[in-house]
Amino acid sequence: MRVLGIETSCDETAVCLIEAGGDFGTNFKFDVLGNALYSQAKLHEQYGGVFPNLAKREHAKNLVPLLSQIISDGGKTEFDEQQLHELVHREPELFEQLVTFFATHGRPEIDCIAVTHGPGLEPCLWVGVNFAKALSIAWNIPIVAVDHMEGHIMLSAMQGDRLSAFEFPLLSLLISGGHTELVLSKEFHMYEVVGKTRDDAAGEAFDKVARLLGLPYPGGPEISRLAAEARVKNQEPKIKLPRPMLREDNLDFSFSGLKTAVRKIVDANPNLELDDKVLLAREFEDSVADVLVEKTLRAVDQFGANTVVVGGGVSANEHIRLRLAEALAKEGNIAQLLIPPPELATDNAIMIALAGYFRALENEFTNVAELSAQGNLTLSH
């Protein structure tokens, strides 16, 4: 089965084409036939975070050029121009590009289209959803609506071009700019959110603290760079930051107070030297890692998880990856740890295509007329 994946949940515009076969087991295998991604990070740097309307416009501007990179030209697609305009009238540039694209591209060999419909920034999601609808109608190809977080789980469960050999129960730690949650799966396609952030997500806290320290956006990699520098030099932090909710009897998270603690230090010391920022970055990253690791281990023990999957942009953080691996090994825990390669930890279309493939196997296709963006979509079901 050939699946076209489309991802526009935040500030990454991504399109890919995969060919996959087999069920959710050892006989599954997939090949990436084409993969194109455009990151908007530099454009949002001046705002210190993602500016939704700018992100929306960039998605509309880049989807067709990215699709053109992975779909060979040739032939022509007949379509209803009025219907197409009604679908994407809010993105006139996307409409014009699609008209031009259909004039030089016939229906490709694709079995289904998988598109992120949530969670995420709703204006951004709508661009991808309407783009998928336009392609579906013009090419008469069914659509699978994909949960962005399920995409992270599916990709993290892969080992190269195959599915990793693992056993349920599976515990997923999903950490990104918009999410920090622990999700329990006792069987395939069944999810229960057992812990989540009550305020800021881990990635959001990284970016906000980086901004307080005068570091460029995106802040996560900058914080990690300074923290790694402190560890290499064996520089111990002079100030101890809180470990939010670490001792509370639950699996929830809270990083807003941690950010506030850093702000108080910065306000009290407006002329922080670089060495001070290096030490503060290390202490902040250590605090986040301590909480994530402790809560994950607690959940593994509570639910008897055999496998721990880590996904989301923050899963690219080398220190957090190492701490989780060491903690599971030290505890003698039988839980297997699955983490995607750093280059696939951030948002991409491959994860959406993979999740879409398994939904398509179960004939979970979406009525095009009813498909909508759902910014607050939750994984628990």
Q: Look at residue 174 and tell me whether its pLDDT is greater than 70.
A: yes
Q: Is 218 a residue whose pLDDT tops 90?
A: no
Both 192 and 109 in one domain: the answer is no
- Evaluate the CA torsion angle 93, 96, 99, 101 in order and state its sign: negative
Give the dihedral of Cα atoms 151, 142, 375, 98; nearest 10 deg: 110
SS3 for 115?
strand
357 and 329 in a single domain? The answer is no
Query: What angle (nearest 5°) sits at the alpha carbon of residue 67, between those of residues 65 and 73?
Result: 95
Structure tokens at 292: 């994530």
Residues 31, 138, single domain; the answer is: yes
Residues 330 and 195 grouped into a single domain: yes
Instruction: Label residue 140 left, alpha or beta by phi (over 0 means left) and psi (-120 to 50 means alpha).
Output: left
Residues contacting residue 125 through CB under 8 Å, at least 6 positions apart: 8, 9, 116, 117, 118, 373, 374, 375
Residue 380 located in a structural domain: no
pLDDT over 90 (residue 47): no
Higher pLDDT, 330 or 166: 166
Per the domain annotation, does 269 fall within a domain?
Answer: yes
Q: Determine the straight-line distance between the first and last CA of the chain, rounded to whole angstroms.
A: 26
Please report the pLDDT score of residue 52 as a whole number: 87
Q: Pick 177 or 113 by higher pLDDT.
A: 113
| Cα–Cα distance measured from residue 89 to residue 84, given in angstroms and rounded to the nearest whole number | 8
Same domain, 333 and 353: no
Are both 238 and 337 inside the same structural domain?
Answer: yes
Among residues of the chain, what percentage have pLDDT more than 90?
85
pLDDT at 271: 86
What is the residue-averaged pLDDT of the chain?
A: 94
Residue 12 or residue 334, greater confidence: 12
In a domain, 58, yes or no: yes
State how far the Cα of 244 lies from the Cα of 256, in Å rounded to an integer: 9
Write the pLDDT tens digit of every residue in 95-135.
999 999 999 999 999 999 999 999 999 999 999 999 999 99
Bridge partners, residue 116, by sequence: 146
Q: Are residues 239 and 97 in the same domain?
A: no
Identify the CATH number of the domain in which residue 26 sits: 3.30.420.40
pLDDT band (50, 70, 90) for residue 329:
confident
| Residue 57 shares a structural domain with residue 178 | no
Residue 377 lies in a domain: no
CA distance 219 to 14: 22
Domain check: are 228 and 363 in the same one? Answer: no
Dihedral sign, Cα of residue 222, residue 225, residue 227, residue 229? negative
- Residues 109, 134 within the same domain: yes
User: Residue 332 above 70 pLDDT?
Assistant: no
pTM given for the model? 0.95
- Residue whose pair of structure tokens reads 């892969």 in the numeric block: 158
- Tell me what pLDDT residue 331 has: 64
Please check whether residue 159 lies inside any domain of the structure.
Answer: no
Answer yes or no: do 359 and 321 share one domain: no
- CB-CB neighbours of 44 under 10 Å: 20
As to burial, measured by CB atoms within 10 angstroms (0-12 exposed, 13-18 middle, 19+ buried), residue 374 is: middle
Asked whether the predicted pLDDT for residue 141 surpasses 70, the reply is yes
- In terms of residue numbers, what domain contains 246? 168-305+313-342
User: Which residue bears the tokens 């515990």?
Assistant: 171
Q: How confident is the model at residue 213 (pLDDT cuts 50, 70, 90)?
A: very high
Place of tokens 């979406």: 366
The domain tally of the chain equals 2
Asked whether residue 158 is domain-assigned, the answer is no
129 shares a domain with 23: yes
SS (H, E, C) 151-176: HHHHHHCEECCEECCCCCCEEEEEEC
Q: Give the pLDDT of residue 180.
A: 96
Asked if residue 381 belongs to a domain, the reply is no
Residue 162: closest CA among 10, 296, 26: 26
